[in-house]
Structure formats: structure tokens, C-alpha cells
Amino acid sequence: MEVGLERVIAQRVLERHGREVRVLIGEPRPMDGTSGDHVCPYRIEEPDDAASVTSFAVGVDSVQALMLALSKIGDTLQANHGGVTFLGRPQLGFPVTVPAVEPGTWTATATYPTIEGG
């Protein structure tokens, strides 16, 4: 299934070696021919376009599709885009999935830097 990034609702600019890596998140929208499922497209734009990734997540509603897209972005960045930083730090602010403790389940966590004095 091919899903285009029709309307960008959010973006984050990351950095690797002084070059921008952009994460674009599309608007979740209903999938054709389903009973309410939604799809949320996203794109990770690398300076070298060959390394860019366009994909999507599917959920039972728009909220789940968005949450799963954020997790897929976090997993993709962690696995395939080493050396990327956000605001000079390695914590990118996207949730990442961790191995399941219980079979048939998954967990997502997000790590955010603390703001000194805040």
C-alpha cells in the first residue's frame, strides 16, 4: 500500500554532522475500505535522499495511528540513523518500542532531556 504525505501536521528538525534531518508527520486519515481504521504517513528526510524514508502506521482511529507513527519514527531513527541529535542532545523525543515482557504485547517509552532551572 502506498500512502502519500498529503498534509504535514508536524515536523521536527534534527541534525547530523551539521546537516539537517527533517521528520515530517502527515495528517492521520481514514483508510478506504475499512471499518474506521486510519493511516498516518511520515517521512524522514536525509540530506542524501537515498537514505530518506517514507512510511506510515495504521491504527483503529486517528490517535492510535499517530501514536504508532511516532513510535515507528523513533525506532527507525534509533536503528538506522545513528549520530542524529535534537537540540544538541541524543534524546530525540520520539517514543521507541522495547522488547515485550509479555508475549503478544509491546511497550513504547520516550526519554526527554530535563531543562535546567525548570
> Domain segments of the chain: what residues?
8-109
Residue 110 neighbours by CB distance under 10 Å = 13
- Band (pLDDT 50/70/90 cuts) for residue 25 is very high
Nearest Cα residue to 97 out of 54, 52, 57, 63? 57
Q: Please determine, for residue 118, whether its predicted confidence score (pLDDT) is greater than 60.
A: no
Q: Please determine, for residue 68, whether its predicted confidence score (pLDDT) is greater than 90.
A: yes
- Higher-pLDDT residue of 37, 100: 37
Decide: pTM greater than 0.85. Answer: no
Q: How far apart are CA 40 and CA 117, in angstroms?
A: 36
Q: What is the mean pLDDT of residues 6-34?
A: 93
Residue 106, pLDDT score: 59
